[in-house]
Amino acid sequence: MPNARSDLATLVSHRSIANPELAPRDGNSEAASFLEEALAMLELTIESRDMPDGTRTVIASASAPPDAPTVLLYSHYDVQPPGDESAWLSDPWELTDRGGRWYARGSADSKGNIVAHLTALRALDGDLRCGIKVVFEGSEEWPSPGLETFVQEAPETLDADAMLIADCGSPAVDEPGLTTSLRGSVVMVVTVKTLESPVHSGSFGGAAPDALAALIRILDSFWDERGTATVGQPAVPRGWTGKEVPESRFRQDAGVLEGVDLVGDGPLADRIWLRSSITVVGIDAPAVQGSLPAIPASARARIALRVPPGVTAKEAEQGLVAQIRRATPWNAEVEIVTQAATEPFASPGHGTAFSTFRDAVRDAYGREPTEIGEGGAIPVCSAFSAAYPSAEILLYGVEEPLSAIHSPNESVDPGEIERIALAECLFLMRYAGVAATG
């Protein structure tokens, strides 16, 4: 663990934001170089590649002993920008101990997961019974043609029997979770135009079509009275078979204000993991401050649709476009642009790697892991499951609700790094003995 801490301290000091519009690329390439050195010290062969978006995917491997399977260890070293730095209680780029937790941007998502991989490999001390492919991506948090494009173009490079994707986590500290379901996503911008330019609401209001009012009517059609999304729902809705999400914990984790209702119907796990949801994540309309008594001529919104397993991203996208067309009033002009689409993912929840990993997690934590879903997409997961249909994909990691990933004061519980590293180490020792290879 002292090594894990010093690895993480170095890693978070590199400001590895992938999007060059938000930060210089230096931090990203420094982080990549640090990881290459760390992997070379583990006597892995470095085979890093430059991606089409200009970032580097750190790749390191050790070939499989005869008849042994190959395990891929994935995580990402790029991070979200720190956001409002005044909201941080300590420097986001300096690993800081507070109350038994380690604070810094990326400490959990996903540099903490990278350090768990490194710690597991270090603990094996060269006793590699499986082939290993380490893949540390540098542009997961930035939607750009990176690793997913590379996987399509050169699938043989990353082929493996089991893929350990550490970019998730658990329902709570010391309560292990295995993620078996991910929602995909469709991001769309809709622009509504009704007038050549804004006109006086006194002179023209009552007959001149208001673009913002038209947009509001379109957006309102996305939910029923209970707040359930009207688009992107599976034709045959499944129910979550794992443990239910307790409402009190959900309300607390989400920070729902007292007296305010949750939306949707049915068990919470179904609502957040197995049903679609729609969020208007941005809207362009006249600002309240300085607004004039004028009818808006145009308005636009960015919409994020979460796509549950059982629905393809294409079906969800087509459903959303059809709903926008249906709900558009007054023959207003509408332009629709899809900006991103990611497929959902559902693990079968069984298989040699899955059960070996579940046992390893149980032994590392001293308790049985629960199966959980994740409402957000992991694009590389869809790319891997499409490119390697026979590989078993496992999702887990060191993140939990207190980690506040993507928010100020992100942190990790070092005990999670230790337990996840131990689970991986046990898995890598046992998997070769149980996996049938062809």
**Residues marked as catalytic:** 78, 140
Site string for Zn ion, 121-160 (x = CB under 5 A): ----------------------------------------
Torsion angle of the four alpha carbons 317, 320, 325, 329, in this order, in degrees rounded to the nearest 10: -150
Residue 33 backbone phi and psi in degrees, to 5? -65, -40
User: Shortest distance, CB of residue 110 to Zn ion, whole angstroms?
Assistant: 4
Edge-to-edge strands, sheet with 411-412? 96-98, 101-103, 411-412
Q: How many CB atoms lie within 10 A of CB 370?
A: 13
> Interface with Zn ion includes 374 (CB under 5 A)?
no
Examine residue 416 and tell whether it contacts Zn ion (CB under 5 A). Answer: no
Distance CA 420, CA 117 (A): 8
- Output the six-digit token pair for 227: 């707040």
CB of 76 to Zn ion, least distance (A): 6
* CA proximity to 332, closest of 221, 222, 216: 216
Of the candidates 233, 179, 234, 204, the residue with the CA atom closest to the CA atom of residue 394 = 179
Stretch that binds Zn ion, among 163-171, 179-187, 201-209, 385-393 (CB under 5 A): 163-171
Does position 78 interact with Zn ion (CB under 5 A)? The reply is no
- Which residue is it, tokens 């059960």? 355
Interface with Zn ion (CB under 5 A), residue total 3
CA dihedral 422, 425, 427, 431 (to 10 degrees): -170
Q: Whose Cβ is closer to Zn ion: residue 109's or residue 410's?
A: 109
Residue with structure tokens 């796509």? 307
Quick note: the x/- pattern for Zn ion over 228-257, rule CB under 5 A, is ------------------------------
By beta-carbon proximity to Zn ion, the closer residue of 109 and 400 is 109
Choice from 78, 109, 137, 400 touching Zn ion (CB under 5 A)? 109
Nearer to Zn ion, 161 or 410 (CB): 410
Calpha distance 58→33 (Å, rounded): 8
Torsion-angle region of 208 (φ positive above 0: left; ψ -120 to 50: alpha; else: beta): beta
Which residues touch 436 (CB under 8 Å, ≥6 apart)? 352
Tell how far CA 251 is from the center of its chain.
21
Shortest Å distance, C-beta 236 to Zn ion: 31
- 70 vs 110, beta carbon nearer Zn ion: 110
* C-beta closer to Zn ion: residue 167 or 317: 167
- From 103-111, 117-125, 204-212, 362-370, give the range in contact with Zn ion by CB under 5 A: 103-111
CB of 379 to Zn ion, least distance (A): 10
Q: Is 22 within 8 Å of 115 (Cβ atoms)? A: no
Q: In terms of CB distance, is 110 or 342 closer to Zn ion?
A: 110
- C-beta neighbour count of 400 within 10 angstroms: 23
Q: What's the min distance (Å) between Cβ of 408 and Zn ion?
A: 17
User: With respect to Zn ion, which residue has the nearer C-beta, 109 or 343?
Assistant: 109
Amino acid, single-letter form, for residue 331: N
Decide: residue 5, CB within 10 A, 0-12 exposed, 13-18 middle, 19+ buried: middle
Q: 385: how many CB neighbours lie within 10 A of its CB?
A: 17
Report, in Å, the least distance between residue 322 CB and Zn ion: 32
Q: Quick check: 167 binds Zn ion (CB under 5 A)?
A: yes
- Residue 110 lies near Zn ion (rule: CB under 5 A): yes
Tokens of 330: 């007054």
Q: What binding mask, one character per residue, do residues 185-224 give for Zn ion by CB under 5 A, x or -?
A: ----------------------------------------
* Identity of the amino acid at 220: D
Task: Give residues in contact with Zn ion (CB under 5 A).
Answer: 109-110, 167
